[in-house]
Amino acid sequence: MKTLSVIRLKGQADRRLRAGHQWIYSNEVNTSETPLKQFTPGDQVVVETAQGKPLGIATINPNTLICGRLISRSTDTVLNKSTLVHRLKIALSLREMTYPAPYYRLVFGDSDGLSGLVVDRFADILVVQISTAGMERVKNEIIEALQDVIKPSAILMKNDGKMRQIEGLDSYVEEAFGTVPETVFLQENGVLFEAPVWDGQKTGWFYDHRENRKTMQGFCDGKRVLDVFSYVGGWGVQAASAGATDVTFIDASKSALDYVTGNLKLNQYEGVSSLIHGDAFDSMQSLIDDKQRFDVVVMDPPAFIARRKDIKAGEGAYHRANQLAMRLVAKGGILVSASCSMHLETARLHDLVRSNSRQLERFSQLVYRGTQAPDHPVHPAIEETEYLKALFYRIHNNMGL
């Protein structure tokens, strides 16, 4: 193995790494002694304290705010096929002890010791997303390691995420191995789905709400359900399969709603279903104007807060979305308020719903607090890995309280 170059941190800049975090910010590097501009994006380097003590090996990108991502706390372990195989086996063991069928997120970035790598599994088909220069550098090794550990029939590289632009990486979607169909089948909570892996959002499916959807099913038998921002029907189709007699789906994507229709047929749903193609806010207002009410309303929007600077505007969007949703909940019904914005804390989401309750003179009771599924494990030292929340409320008229 060739000798790796070194980056040296400023004084006290190693404290977060010693506490378990894996990221290095560009302003933490002593650029007088170890200029970042000497490196090429994706290089592996030895990280040293200000005193010259080695902390481990990281991949480096001199052009980004998060300039380093720790691979190992040993200077003997580089990011290569052997390391990838070892960590993939550990990741696989967690998923296999958690789920009986091979439908899950196999790799969740930092939480699996593979910062910048996401892999979703759909039986023998894998969808891979690489978001950092370090992982892009070992793309071929990733593919080979996945073939060794999983032995898939095909691998799709879905490398079109926003993070790639920040990292200076090209955007592309291509088969790395085998033939990947336009859509793949999966099973979640006993319900069958077809997901668009080539043209859909992210990897084509969102496994993270699995446990929250399972909880929601318990409220749906014989009920009328509204699924807002439905995408391909992850919530609403599971509500239908749990006995809902009437399910309405709202989404801005016509193709996503076409998948909803297919997924309802796939599960032989015989109840009433309605598809509303349009802006979620406008569509909810129209339902309110028509005096429509639902026993269960699921509000699972995209991330309204992508960055810290978006917090104020994003919170306004969450407030408005939940207020409209709450107005559509029938007396004694359930509101599921979800968020995938890491920058929106659970307590803040709860506060927004509380505020809506007072403004609308509703009496709300928090009955369930959900988070991401076990195949999206949280790294205890990296708060960014704990991003998902789902709060279930029972909504009543004011009751004089």
User: Rounded CA gap, 31 and 319, in Å?
Assistant: 43
Single-letter amino acid code for the residue at 143? I
- Statement: the pTM of the whole predicted model exceeds 0.85: yes
Has residue 180 got a pLDDT over 80?
yes
Give the pLDDT band of residue 400 (cuts 50, 70, 90): low
pLDDT in tens, 148-177: 999 999 999 999 988 999 999 999 999 999
Q: How many CA within 13 A on the CB side of residue 70?
A: 24
Task: Please check whether residue 391 is in contact with residue 369, taking contact to mean a CB–CB distance below 8 angstroms.
Answer: yes
For the record, the structure tokens of 331 come out as 């007396």
Per-residue model confidence (pLDDT) at position 340 = 96
Per-residue model confidence (pLDDT) at position 1 = 52
Per-residue model confidence (pLDDT) at position 161 = 87
CA torsion, ordered 28, 12, 309, 111, to nearest 10 deg: 90
What domains lie within the chain, and their CATH numbers?
Answer: 6-72 (2.30.130.10), 81-180 (3.30.750.80), 185-397 (3.40.50.150)
User: Rounded CA gap, 122 and 89, in Å?
Assistant: 17
Per-residue model confidence (pLDDT) at position 397 = 82
3-state secondary structure of 22: coil
pLDDT in tens, 30-70: 999 999 999 999 999 999 999 999 999 999 999 999 999 99
Give the pLDDT band of residue 401 (cuts 50, 70, 90): low
Task: Please check whether residue 38 is in contact with residue 79, taking contact to mean a CB–CB distance below 8 angstroms.
Answer: no
Q: How many CB atoms lie within 10 A of CB 293?
A: 16
Phi and psi (nearest 5°) for 196? -85, 95
Task: Please check whether residue 24 is in contact with residue 9, taking contact to mean a CB–CB distance below 8 angstroms.
Answer: yes
Buried b (16+ CB within 10 A) or exposed e, 126-149: bbbbbbbbbbbbbbebbbbbbeeb
Has residue 237 got a pLDDT over 70?
yes
Q: Which residues are catalytic?
A: 340
User: Rounded CA gap, 247 and 244, in Å?
Assistant: 7
Query: Mean pLDDT over residues 6-22, rounded?
Result: 95
pLDDT in tens, 262-308: 999 999 999 999 999 999 999 999 999 999 999 999 999 999 998 88
User: Rounded CA gap, 56 and 214, in Å?
Assistant: 41
Query: Mean pLDDT over residues 129-147, rounded?
Result: 98
Query: Mean pLDDT over residues 313-335, rounded?
Result: 96
Phi and psi (nearest 5°) for 115? -55, 130
Task: Please check whether residue 154 is in contact with residue 179, taking contact to mean a CB–CB distance below 8 angstroms.
Answer: yes
Has residue 2 got a pLDDT over 70?
no
User: Rounded CA gap, 157 and 127, in Å?
Assistant: 6
Per-residue model confidence (pLDDT) at position 42 = 97
